[in-house]
Structure 1
Amino acid sequence: MSRPADGGTPPPELELPSDFPGLGEDDGNGPFIDHHEVRNVIKALRTSLGALRGETVPNMSATWTGPGTVNQVSYEGNVGPEEAGQWEAASAFGNNIHFAYNAFDPSYALLIEHVEKWANAVEQAIANYERFHQDSSA
């Protein structure tokens, strides 16, 4: 594996398990990819992302949209010295939790955003492949 031109860390090699959804046998030119199955995987992924975003959870308040959602992390994770206590150990613990929250909270939402962008890119790649395959077969 080669390093990127900017000298950064090379991307990790990715080996998908042979039973990965949508991945078929390798005919020497690469594995067969079942586009319908890949779309089903993306649909399931988006359903999971919706649960993390906190989309339309029935019988929940606006500030509590379910466990593990971005809103829950933002609401319950914002703890600092004031909440932990003013004595030295508690205050230091509160500072550590607040520091972790400030690093994690935006990253959590950003992860969801990047996964959605990845899903869009995979769908577009499939659409492009199918369109060009159809055009070249006509």
Structure 2
Amino acid sequence: MSRPSDPGGSPPPELHLPSDFPGLTGDDGGGPYIEHSRVKSIVSSLRENLGSLRGAAPSGMSATWSGAGTVNEVSYRGNVGPAETGKWEAATAFGDNLTQAHTVFNDSYGVLVDNVEKWVDAVEKAIVNYEKFQRDSSA
């Protein structure tokens, strides 16, 4: 697929996948061939790991379990500010910096997990659409 060139700008960068990219099994003559079953397996594993970042309880554990590295744990344990660092001037300034860092990091961490989840959804839909197109066009 070619993109219209912008006479005033530079061309879009080309995407070069490493030869050992998961699911990439060679060239089908028109570009790289992606093994869908391998990509589905990787995406499924990623989705499972995203569940643990959200705080999904593993089987046999409480539904309120948060766990290491979850969005809730980062929010709770990283929430340190002036009240925790002390009342003297340097400690209060340090606490203010920690509060600001926590706010930025906590929000960014949650957004990262949300965006990876959206990417996983998009890849899954792309594979389903491609496979449907292949079935429909060969019928």
Q: TM-score scaled to structure 1, two decimals?
A: 0.83
Measured at CA, do residues 111 and 131 of structure 1 come closer, stay the same or move farther in structure 2, by a change above 3 Å?
A: same
After TM superposition, the structure 1 = structure 2 runs for residues 84-103 of structure 1, keeping only pairs within 5 Å, are 84-103=85-104
Structure 1: how far apart are the matches of 2:120 and 2:25? 20
**What is the Cα deviation at residue 26 of structure 1?**
2.1
Note closer, same or farther for the CA distance 1:11–1:55 as it changes in structure 2 (3 Å cut): farther
Give % identity.
Answer: 57
Q: Provide the alpha-carbon RMSD of the alignment.
A: 2.4
Larger RCO (CA within 8 A; separation ≥ 6): 2
TM-score normalized with structure 2 length? 0.82
Distance, in Å, in 2 between the alignment partners of 1:97 and 1:13 is 40
**Which segments of 5 or more consecutive residues in structure 2 lack a partner in the other structure?**
none
In the alignment, structure 1 segments of 5+ residues that lack a partner are none
1:123 aligns with 2:89: no
Aligned residue pairs total: 130
Q: Residue 71 of structure 1 aligns to which amino acid in structure 2? A: N
Partner of 1:76: 77
Cα distance in 1, alignment partners of residues 79 and 105 from structure 2: 10
Hey, what's the Cα distance between the residues in 1 that align with 2:110 and 2:21?
27
Q: 2:18 aligned with 1:30, yes or no?
A: no
Task: Give the 3-state SS of the residue equivalent to 1:78 in structure 2.
Answer: coil
Kept in 2: contact 1:60–1:66 (CA 8 A): no
Moved over 2 A (4+): 10-17, 57-62
Q: Secondary structure at the match of 1:24?
A: strand
Q: Which amino acid aligns with 2:70?
A: T
Alignment match, 1:54:
55
